[in-house]
Amino acid sequence: GAGVSQSPSNKVTEKGKDVELRCDPISGHTALYWYRQSLGQGLEFLIYFQGNSAPDKSGLPSDRFSAERTGGSVSTLTIQRTQQEDSAVYLCASSPFLGGAGDTQYFGPGTRLTVL
Amino acid sequence: RKEVEQDPGPFNVPEGATVAFNCTYSNSASQSFFWYRQDCRKEPKLLMSVYSSGNEDGRFTAQLNRASQYISLLIRDSKLSDSATYLCVADLSGYALNFGKGTSLLVTP
């Protein structure tokens, strides 16, 4: 079946511009996650959505970052006034949320963001 | 200090060799543990979960030592296709995975 999809696959932007990154989770998955992977760094958790519950935004690095999930499916991560340190691969994942710890997360191919 | 620490490698091994990776995690309350595999410029994919009793999946064996907060992955009879970065993961919250930076493996003919 179809996996997690993300768009765009690559995004080059100028410092100070806003960007929107999109994630389409696997159909039927109720949990959605955003991570980022900077060069030479491990994946860093950003935000988590589960059903209609309030998202856990504890990983967002600054108030320039926000995310929403409309209709319990598609999610958009928005970065305002981008900075060069925002350059990274932004990965989205989804899981079926079977209710236990360790629910398997399936990752999308990521959006490679470059801020000039 | 990063919550999950791994030796970055690279580990260069010949085909057929056995190779072991280790990682440590700092938060003793971590609940679940995994090894993910990430190929160059690709997304991470779950390789296997790690259980206290140890678990095996074909050529891959994972071990967890909660007392030492230590996780290991053993790959037997390495294949060229095993070349990748292996990410050690600890899960404290039940959803926000803590990833190590990864250990790079190159299997050579």
Interface of B with A in 30-49 (CB under 8 A): 31-32, 34, 42-46, 49
What is the spatial distance between Cα A106 and Cα A25, in angstroms, rounded to a whole number? 9
Pairing of strands A75-79, A106-107: unpaired
- Is the CB of A105 less than 8 angstroms away from the CB of B46? yes
Count other C-beta atoms under 10 Å from residue A90's C-beta: 22
Condensed to tens digits (0 to 9), the pLDDT of residues A31-70 reads: 999 999 998 788 999 999 988 888 899 999 999 999 999 8
Where does the pLDDT of residue B1 fall: very low under 50, low under 70, confident under 90, or very high at 90 and above?
Answer: low
What is the spatial distance between Cα A17 and Cα B65, in angstroms, rounded to a whole number? 47
Share of chain B above pLDDT 70, in %: 99
Helix (H, G, I), strand (E, B) or coil at B78: coil
Give the pLDDT confidence score for residue A99 in this predicted structure: 55
Condensed to tens digits (0 to 9), the pLDDT of residues B55-91 reads: 999 999 999 999 999 999 999 999 999 999 999 999 8
Question: What single DSSP character describes residue B106?
Answer: E
Q: Which helix (H) or strand (E) holds B38?
A: strand B32-38
B31 Cα to chain A: minimum distance (Å): 7
Condensed to tens digits (0 to 9), the pLDDT of residues A72-102 reads: 799 999 999 999 999 999 999 999 876 555 6
On the 0-12 / 13-18 / 19+ scale of CB atoms within 10 A, B102 is buried
